[in-house]
Structure 1
């Protein structure tokens, strides 16, 4: 998809927003919903890649964030999780701050594989802390385990959640290493006052393993594939 086609899709808002619940599996209650974007023409992962190649990531992210906020009707009782890159967050901080005034409880998710320059980290953390003070905004590292971020770097960030990559729970019984990673990560995050959300839960066996481990939050097709507002 070329730049002109992408811009037209963004301008005409040719996207569908669905919401996937994040469940407190110890209390069997919905904690929040992640806003996910879908398009009819191609897999969303391919569209995102096209946005990156054409330097339109921020424009796309801002559109999906506004869609997620505008269509979300459970804002009074639950949290809304929104995906954003570090670059978009820093570049459009003033606009985001303005949107948060009427948006309810928001948790921003930064991809583990996204990058921020070392000289921008202080500004990033200061802005994250400011939104937490003003609006009770939360932050999460998304897809942990998919890239190369070490746990020390994750702990330095003022985040509330670490969301694991869906591959970590997949076929966990056949891969003892995955069980060990999930077990140790859960214990380590708990000791450092951060919460773990296990993504990719697709069956009861996975759910029961996580419940026994003491994990509080999970997300995946086992609960629902996603719902419209």
Structure 2
């Protein structure tokens, strides 16, 4: 049975990278980093195991470190666009995280194109503490995104309190979008909010050409999904 110590000591995971596209130009603006355990665990199960064994911060930061190292070792730099990395709110709030991310981004000169995506699976316990940590992180040039927006009832609070630089819509709002006037209305409202408060909107999880066509018709600026490009090793692009 896999343990958190095995994940940490053996470093038994890798990363795939999924491109994010500008729908106006069809150019890649960056990549989202996706953890891939070498064992039978799913990414969610790997982090749940780490949390149960009180090793969540260690696994989260190791994953970030390996992703940035791999990105650079494959010859990718800020010229290749932004790097979106999932991170738990509790990791960001950890007093050790600021020095960790500052050292890592200085070493690889990545701070200006790094986007920290707040993992939606963890409840935010204290917005004041999290915002204080994010304030210091943003001073490094790092930006913040809310992932899977629309999946949890508390998403509106996160949007208002954290003032993210990017909002990524949850797959639920995208699935069969062309058939749902209600979803189209909600997506349009979120788009208007983002335009008003200078937040970039990303539509993720696009699986079908019809969803992609409607996203472009609705004026969604950025998108990712298997219909555009599935997650891959960087050296396969």
Structure 2, unaligned stretches of length 5 or more? none
**Moved beyond 6 Å, runs of 4+:** none
2:67: which partner in 1?
Answer: 68
The offset of 1:211, in angstroms, is 1.0
Whether contact under 8 Å (1:112, 1:149) holds in the other structure is no
Measure the CA separation in 2 of the matches of 1:59 and 1:193: 33
Specify which of 84, 88, 95 is matched with residue 85 of structure 1.
88
TM-score by length of 1: 0.90
Is 1:21 aligned to 2:27, yes or no? no
1:44/1:131 Cα in 2 relative to 1: closer, same or farther (>3 Å)? Answer: closer
Larger mean CA deviation between 169-178 and 57-66 belongs to 169-178
CA change 1:204–1:86 in 2 (3 A) is: same
Choose which of 98, 101, 124 in structure 1 pairs with 2:130: 124
Structure 1, residues 133-187: CA drift from partner, whole Å, max 9, x if none? 33x2110001111111242541221310011111210112333322221121111
Q: TM-score, normalised by structure 2?
A: 0.87
**RMSD of aligned C-alpha atoms?**
1.8
SS in 1 for 2:31: strand
Between 195-204 and 167-176, the greater mean CA deviation after superposition: 167-176
Partner of 2:29: 31
Q: Which moved more, 1:146-155 or 1:105-114?
A: 146-155
